Chains A and B, each alone.
Chain A
Amino acid sequence: MTTTTHLDPHEPLELEATASGPKLELLDLVGGRWPLERQGSAQRVQMALRAGGAAIALASFYGVVIGSTDLGLALGNAWKLPGVLALSTLTALPAGLLAHRLMGGQRGSSNLFTATMAGNFAAALVLASLSPLVALYYHTSTLLGAPLAMLTGSLALFVGVGSGIRLMWRSEELRKALVVPTLVLLVVQLLAMLQFLHLASPILPEATIFESGLEGMLQ
């Protein structure tokens, strides 16, 4: 026998926490699952913001680790890598959301936002989880530190993109008009990321191909 006997505004929070667990929501996202079936757009955007905040913190941690051979570099990386991630996302989001609308998407903007932030979070999680390995090689090998750091960066990009796309694919609203907004988001974010990496250089102790931005890479 279940009846709606009391409506304490705090009660639903607890009920929801038992359903999914607010802290596990983000890990659900990384696993390609939408945490709640009947999640409203405000809840989704809040969850996306939490994912974005976590991604910024993890990117900062990774930045400090890969710059740990030089104090100045480590301190700079603490804000440079989060800056690259946050600002490139901010640059790409308007174009992606506009593309979604232009493709006829009436609803689902919050899903697109969430999927983007979840992709960032997944990428940052990969970076942070591999940072001990990168730090180990940076401090004990003269040759392998930088290649390993770039390899983890590429892997993070791959996982982030895959995670975002998987989430979008599982959203009814986004699946219908998936290809174009995803491509627009990806291309704009990657272009912005390359240029922000150029602005933020140096990030690694060694010179890399990314230091001179897209212009330098094409030369």
Chain B
Amino acid sequence: MIALVGAAWAQVQTATHEGTLVGERIEWSSTFHGERDVCTPVRPGDRVLIGAVNDGLACAEGPLLRVERSQFVGALEPPLGAPGIHRITLKGTHFEPDPGLGMQKTASGWTAPGVSRTDRLHFDTDLRKHGVRGLQTALYLRDPENHALPGELVQSTITSWTRLGMGLGLGLVVALGGVFYRRLDGLARRERIEAWMADATVRTELDQDGIV
């Protein structure tokens, strides 16, 4: 039995954990993918949507296992423990992992030691194939142990509205610049004509004086 479970665990390749901050709780929705039967350790209170629980282990007879968990705000406690690469995302808040975890900050979030850029790219590409957006900030872990991730939940002052405002500001600057440029056309042409006439007049006078 243990050997069978061990063999099944080895099939877990990727797991996504989507946490949503609801009041004082984080609601987790986790999906495990594998080539065939996949398993993950669960705890009492976890809801297994696809698969079945046996001796603290949720297993699915197929390549997909889905588990939901609810926790109080604090260290992140998604259902980790299965081997493979795990991707954790949060809605409604940002997470700064404890420096002791040794995670490295990247443009796409935080990466634990052992997860390469290629791993991340493959993971996100695979997610996009399944219609999941891979552009949000995420934490990537490889073969995580089944315990909480210490860190701090922070509310960012930069919202998507701020960025939208910045984008609109740029659009406005470009548009107004274009309009202003067009409005200066007539004036600029007049300046050119005046300069040309002044040049021509000077040349004529010089010519009449026999200097040129």
- By a beta-carbon cutoff of 8 Å, the part of chain A in contact with chain B is 1-4, 7, 9, 11-13, 15-16, 36, 38-43, 45-46, 49-50, 52-53, 56, 67, 69-70, 72-73, 79-80, 82-83, 86-87, 90, 142, 196, 198-202, 204-207
Contact = CB atoms under 8 A, between A and B. Distances in A.
Contact of B170 (A79, A201, A206): A79
A16 B43 CA distance: 80
A82 B173 CA distance: 11
Nearest to A200: B166
A42 B187 CA distance: 6
B167 interface: yes
Contact of A205 (B106, B135, B174, B207): B106
A16 B201 contact: no
A1 B195 contact: no
A49 B170 CA distance: 14
Nearest to B108: A70
B71 to A, nearest CB: 27
A198 B156 CA distance: 12
Interface of B: 105-108, 117, 121, 134-135, 158, 162-163, 166-167, 169-170, 173-174, 177, 180-181, 184-185, 187-198, 200-201, 203-204, 207, 212
Contacts of A36: 195
Question: What are the 6 closest A-B residue pairs judged by CB atoms, nearest first?
Answer: A40-B191, A42-B187, A207-B105, A72-B135, A12-B196, A83-B170
A206 B187 contact: no
Contacts of A52: 177
25 contacts: A2-B200, A2-B203, A2-B204, A3-B204, A4-B204, A9-B193, A12-B193, A16-B195, A38-B198, A40-B191, A40-B192, A41-B191, A42-B184, A42-B187, A42-B188, A42-B191, A46-B184, A49-B180, A73-B107, A83-B167, A83-B170, A86-B169, A90-B169, A196-B166, A204-B107
Question: Which of A36, A40, A41 has most B Cβ within 10 Å?
Answer: A40
Nearest to B196: A12
Contact of B207 (A2, A38, A69, A202): A2
B188 A83 contact: no
A201 B156 CA distance: 12
Contact of B158 (A41, A42, A199): A199
Contacts of B198: 38
A43 B188 contact: yes
A40 B189 CA distance: 10
A15 B107 contact: no
Given A49-B177, A53-B177, A202-B107, 5 more contacts: A7-B197, A13-B189, A50-B181, A79-B167, A199-B162
Contacts of B134: 72
Nearest to A73: B107
